[in-house]
Amino acid sequence: MHTFTSRARKPGKLARLFGLLGASAALAFGTSAAQAEALPKELRLDYAYYSPTSLVLKHFGWLEQEVGAGTKVSWVLSQGSNRSLEYLNGGSIDFASTAGLAAVLSRANGSPIKTVYIASRPEWTALAVRKDSPIQSVADLKGKKIAATKGTDPYLFTLRSLEQAGLSKDDVELVHLQHPDGRVALEKGDVDAWAGLDPHLAASQVQAGSRILYRNVAFNSYGVLNVTERFAKEHPQAIATVLGAYEKARKWARENPEELAQLLAKESGLPLEVARLQLSRTDFSNAQPGPEHIAALKAAAPILVTEELVRRGVQVEQVVDQLIDPAFSAQAIARQ
């Protein structure tokens, strides 16, 4: 009986041993298993010529490698912040590349979005005129036609520039054109000035000799990555995974400026000289949303209110606080 009892217990000990080994394995691989379970079946991102790190990420396929076969990665081209936000709010993408002020404007007008990452600090917009234009200052634009894409950084840059010169949007004729069309309109003489956006602005400078009438880096908001509040609540691991891949792309961009210029030129179809000019005024050093970004966005609050770009009664500074969520990027940066 004793022998039988002893033999009967051995399988139990082995079972317990394998159970312990299984538990250890679960601990060791639990993170990746959780990631696989937490990620949706598809991640939908935009890419844009004004967001070089998005081009890097798409080109190398690092996100696809990270998520594996269980999650499909889809890419959509955004021609401007307004289009990107339309895609995000319409549910056709999960991650939207925009200018920071465009994101503020979107949230202020009712879109429940969150800014989770700083993709770049660009000086990507300025007011441009033709090379032979007699216009010499922003004040000279009174009564003139200015091409700008409504709801984007160049549009808001225009309003702030006019205000600084003692003008308002009622003193000029704003022609609402997408960025590439604004360039064409300027060069053809259909408008007197254009609120350009890189790489189209750099291309117009290099290829058509367009002249920068007014520049102000402080009026340029940051390039940011946004998600909806619902997506942030339901898929925090997906955001962490995407931002981890973006961090890899940002690191590569900083370490390979010439290769980045070549990639931008290839993707956009623009000359290498144009890509180099755009990137010469783009800073990739700080991806963590923080006080400096919040302060820069709040500085633009008055123009959004006075120009009635936000709903009556909206507290724009409060909107900025609600928009910026630094937690996701802090985790992604710490892991790199």
Peptide bond preceding 199 in cis form (omega within 30 of 0): yes
pLDDT of residue 125: 95
All domains in the chain, ordered by first residue:
42-122+221-334 (3.40.190.10), 125-219 (3.40.190.10)
Counting beta carbons within 10 angstroms of the beta carbon of residue 229, is it exposed (0 to 12), middle (13 to 18) or buried (19 or more)?
middle
* Predicted local distance difference test score (pLDDT) of residue 151: 75
Q: What is the largest CA-CA distance in the chain?
A: 109
Q: CA-based angle 135:140:146, to the nearest 5?
A: 80
Distance of CA 27 to the CA centre of its chain: 35
Tell me the C-alpha distance between 208 and 204, whole Å.
5
CB within 8 A of 57, min separation 6: which ones? 45, 47, 63, 245, 246, 248, 249
In the chain (336 residues long), the average pLDDT of successive 10-residue segments reads 34 39 36 57 96 97 96 95 95 96 93 97 96 98 96 89 95 95 98 95 96 95 96 96 97 97 94 96 94 92 86 93 93 80
* Helix (H) or strand (E) run with residue 308 in it: none
pLDDT of residue 150: 85
Task: Return phi, psi of residue 187, to 5°.
Answer: -65, -25
Separation of alpha carbons 12 and 167, rounded Å: 85
Q: CA geometry: angle at 85 spanning 82 and 87, to 5°? A: 110
What local confidence, expressed as pLDDT, does residue 307 receive?
81
Q: Kindly give, in sequence order, each residue whose CB lies less than 8 Å from that of residue 194, ignoring residues fewer than 6 positions away.
A: 127, 128, 129, 146, 147, 148, 182, 183, 185, 186, 204, 210
DSSP character at residue 190 = S
User: Tokens 């798409």 sit at which residue?
Assistant: 58
CA 279: distance to chain centroid? 16
- Residue 221 gets which letter from DSSP? P
Residue with tokens 């939207």: 96
Single pTM value for the model: 0.81
Pairing of strands 173-176, 282-283: unpaired
Helices (H), 191-335: 200-208, 229-234, 236-255, 257-268, 272-280, 291-299, 301-306, 316-323, 327-335
